[in-house]
Structure 1
Amino acid sequence: MSTAAAPVRSATRRMSTLDRWLPLWIGLAMIAGLLLGRFIPGVSTVLAHLEVGGISVPIALGLLVMMYPVLAKVRYDRVAAVTGDKKLLISSLVLNWLIGPALMFVLAWTFLPDLPEYRTGLIIVGLARCIAMVIIWNDLACGDREAAAVLVAINSVFQVVAFALLGWFYLTVLPAWLGFDTQGLEISVGQIALNVLIFLGVPLLTGFASRWIGERRKGRDWYEERFLPKIGPWALYGLLFTIVLLFALQGEQVTSRPLDVVRIALPLLVYFAVMWFIGLFTGRALGLGYARSSTLAFTAAGNNFELAIAVAIGTFGAASGQALAGVVGPLIEVPILVGLVYVSLWAARAWFHTDPYTNERMPS
């Protein structure tokens, strides 16, 4: 989609005070979570037991609060234009289901050849493509909301179909071919489908219903100028709440095993950065324009940490190295992708010659 054909964004999309100070709020949320998990007895135990079907209820609540305002902003009448963009859809599928898992496999074996538990946990993270938190990174970077909704929905379908198959291939078949150690992976399609239903289906349905009902009763102007600004900040409140819980849940493990965390973090840092840059440059090379290139980059770099953690715990146990690797995933992903939001906004002007807030071309 050319920038000329892209929907013009209002200047009101410029970063609010809350958005501009986001790195500070996230840093404080991370510290608060670590302190809670480390120094308040029983917090992590209580959080670990608040699960239904392997899904943490408090974290699910935080993610739903985070995703709803963003999905309520999507103009669903424009989604059809995204589904016709074959370059965007095909490149997203290739990045998410071919390049992403393969890259994580290579990085896990390169950085952690002597630590099979952590290595397996990282490979599981690489297989769980993002269907939740990527929505907010894309929105902060002024990506294409409609494109993000479509790509996340497509990833969710592939996740149900392909996750277990790819897990078998990358943990059993491929290592055996290469003469490496093998690991088994037990995961049901039902568990993956439940994860997708909760973390995508519920907020997508409520977001669509809000727009449909709001526009039907009050009109689009009221909905976008009065309703959306009121619910908008809740996306970041949900994000910060989720971050506090994630760090509190594993605060003791993270702070008591810092060297292990560093070993796990290094391949993750490389993974998130490489996948994001591949996505952005692919979009630019295909002429997708800034908004859709940014969306392609963030949907390629993000991962479904809830699914990865649930699979690692369900298969190997809550105290396993695989589970710790799964937990470290979002702890590294959050600050890295926040940083990439700012890189993306800079790249909009420097590489695409586009104002990210209006999606209009700037003078060369």
Structure 2
Amino acid sequence: MSAPTTTDLRADTGLGGFERFLTLWVTLAILAGIGLGLLVPGVFEQIADLEVAQVNLVVAVLIWLMIYPMMLKVEPDCLSDVRHQPKGLFLTLGINWLVKPFTMAALAYVFFRYVFSEFVPTAEADEYIAGMILLGVAPCTAMVFVWSQLTNGSANYTLAQVSINDLILVFAFAPIAGLLLGVTDLTVPWATLVASVAIFVVVPLAAGLFTRSSLIRTGGPAAVDGFAARLKPTSIIGLLLTVVLLFGFQAETIIDQPARVLMIAIPLLIQSYGIFAIGYGAARSLRLPFDIAAPAAMIGTSNFFELAVAVAISLYGLGSGAALATVVGVLIEVPVMLSLVAFANRTKGWFPASSESTDARPGAVPVE
């Protein structure tokens, strides 16, 4: 079966001109963020200070705007999807905890011990390696809902994947990170971990379930789908504003240390596309439905950057190379993931029919 064309995808989704050129708007948002970060750094500093357990509240609100429409589709018995399709969960967990941390450590070591060894002092290289390892051991919690929504992934299955992954994260993060970093007494910032799960999963899920229940009582499932469709522009605006903030926060670093940012970005890019290729290829071999395959591949590709940044700062300091490496991971994540969303949407025909009916659900966004 051939992959759907851009024209087919547009016809299926009924997207307006604004959403069809999402990549262009993201590019402009990146430029706007860097420009505003240089022009009015004080504003971004004040926004950056609005934190709870190192989780920025403004970014949290914007992420709520992005993932709330997907939470509307979640059904209370979502774990039944995992019981009926266990392969997707096993694939996600295998990549997250048996592959991703170790490939990231290997790439970081190769690039900063050999490829870039003439350009980066050993002490700084060690910190860059540490920061990238922390990213590799922190699979995504929040933004995967966004990427799943943009590929029309199963809301129920995505929630189950994230929930089980978070449970494992509580027990596996410190041992694996400590092993790869050579630190036996690694201290996990539990406040950041708990706050992130509560803010990015529990709160929007509770809001979504409450709204869904209310809408079903008054108008049935069609009312839920219609409301979610009307919220789609809000979700895209939330994504663009998040990009502006993330790049605004780090505008000076991007301008002052472009070479270091680029050197860190190269292995991170290889890791991101490589992990996605492994997950997506394995999902195709397992013949998973597309609405399970796409989120399963993307949850390992995306990162829990709040946790990685917090641990890097606590271990190595705010101005350390480790902190810089985790921040570079934040900066490349949105552009990289949008490119993978575009690829997934164009290769939907590689996979069997979806695991649940999608005729009435809002369509995916074909990123160009």
**TM-score for both structures, normalised by structure 2:** 0.85
* Partner in structure 2 of residue 67 of structure 1: 67
User: CA separation in 2, counterparts of 1:279 and 1:60?
Assistant: 28
Q: Does the CA contact (< 8 Å) of 2:78 and 2:156 recur in 1?
A: yes
Q: Does the CA contact (< 8 Å) of 1:69 and 1:231 recur in 2?
A: yes
Question: What amino acid sits opposite 2:126 in the alignment?
Answer: P
* Partner in structure 1 of residue 28 of structure 2: 28
Larger mean CA deviation between 187-196 and 278-287 belongs to 187-196
SS of the residue 2:347 aligns to: helix
* Partner in structure 2 of residue 242 of structure 1: 242
Q: CA deviation at 1:354?
A: 6.2
CA deviations 1:289-317 (Å, max 9, x no partner) are: 22221121111211111221222223322
After TM superposition, the structure 1 = structure 2 runs for residues 141-152 of structure 1, keeping only pairs within 5 Å, are 141-152=151-162
Residues 212/355 of structure 1: CA separation in 2 closer, same or farther (3 Å cut): closer
Whether 1:335 aligns to 2:335 is yes
SS of the residue 1:233 aligns to: helix
Residues 94/312 of structure 1: CA separation in 2 closer, same or farther (3 Å cut): same
Question: What amino acid sits opposite 2:307 in the alignment?
Answer: L
Q: Does the CA contact (< 8 Å) of 2:30 and 2:247 recur in 1?
A: yes
Q: Does the CA contact (< 8 Å) of 1:160 and 1:193 recur in 2?
A: no
Q: Does the CA contact (< 8 Å) of 2:174 and 2:188 recur in 1?
A: yes
* Partner in structure 2 of residue 199 of structure 1: 200
Q: Does the CA contact (< 8 Å) of 2:292 and 2:355 recur in 1?
A: no
User: CA separation in 2, counterparts of 1:342 and 1:356?
Assistant: 21
The gaps in structure 1 that reach 5 residues or longer are 1-10, 173-181
Q: Does the CA contact (< 8 Å) of 2:153 and 2:290 recur in 1?
A: yes
Residues 142/218 of structure 1: CA separation in 2 closer, same or farther (3 Å cut): closer
SS of the residue 1:42 aligns to: helix
* Partner in structure 1 of residue 268 of structure 2: 268
Q: CA deviation at 1:41?
A: 3.7
After TM superposition, the structure 1 = structure 2 runs for residues 117-196 of structure 1, keeping only pairs within 5 Å, are 117-172=127-182, 185-196=186-197
Q: RMSD value over aligned CA atoms?
A: 2.6
Q: CA deviation at 1:268?
A: 0.9
Q: Does the CA contact (< 8 Å) of 1:103 and 1:271 recur in 2?
A: yes
Q: Does the CA contact (< 8 Å) of 2:276 and 2:297 recur in 1?
A: yes
SS of the residue 1:73 aligns to: coil
User: CA separation in 1, counterparts of 2:196 and 2:247?
Assistant: 21
Residues 347/329 of structure 1: CA separation in 2 closer, same or farther (3 Å cut): same
Whether 1:87 aligns to 2:79 is no
Larger mean CA deviation between 244-253 and 158-167 belongs to 158-167
Q: CA deviation at 1:353?
A: 7.3
Q: Does the CA contact (< 8 Å) of 2:63 and 2:200 recur in 1?
A: yes
Larger mean CA deviation between 95-104 and 13-22 belongs to 13-22
CA deviations 1:202-228 (Å, max 9, x no partner) are: 112211221122112332122212x22
Q: Does the CA contact (< 8 Å) of 1:144 and 1:291 recur in 2?
A: yes
User: CA separation in 2, counterparts of 1:303 and 1:275?
Assistant: 12
Residues 167/270 of structure 1: CA separation in 2 closer, same or farther (3 Å cut): same
SS of the residue 2:72 aligns to: helix
Larger mean CA deviation between 53-62 and 187-196 belongs to 187-196
User: CA separation in 1, counterparts of 2:102 and 2:191?
Assistant: 25
User: CA separation in 2, counterparts of 1:47 and 1:323?
Assistant: 19
Q: Does the CA contact (< 8 Å) of 1:121 and 1:321 recur in 2?
A: yes
User: CA separation in 2, counterparts of 1:218 and 1:211?
Assistant: 10
Q: Does the CA contact (< 8 Å) of 1:345 and 1:356 recur in 2?
A: no
CA deviations 1:132-158 (Å, max 9, x no partner) are: 111111221222222211111111111
The percentage of counterpart residues that share the same residue type is 36
Residues 269/290 of structure 1: CA separation in 2 closer, same or farther (3 Å cut): same
Q: Does the CA contact (< 8 Å) of 1:13 and 1:357 recur in 2?
A: no
Larger mean CA deviation between 48-57 and 95-104 belongs to 48-57
User: CA separation in 2, counterparts of 1:149 and 1:285?
Assistant: 23
User: CA separation in 2, counterparts of 1:100 and 1:142?
Assistant: 25
Q: Does the CA contact (< 8 Å) of 2:55 and 2:195 recur in 1?
A: no
Q: Does the CA contact (< 8 Å) of 1:290 and 1:359 recur in 2?
A: no
Q: CA deviation at 1:40?
A: 1.9
Q: CA deviation at 1:339?
A: 0.8
Q: Does the CA contact (< 8 Å) of 1:120 and 1:183 recur in 2?
A: no
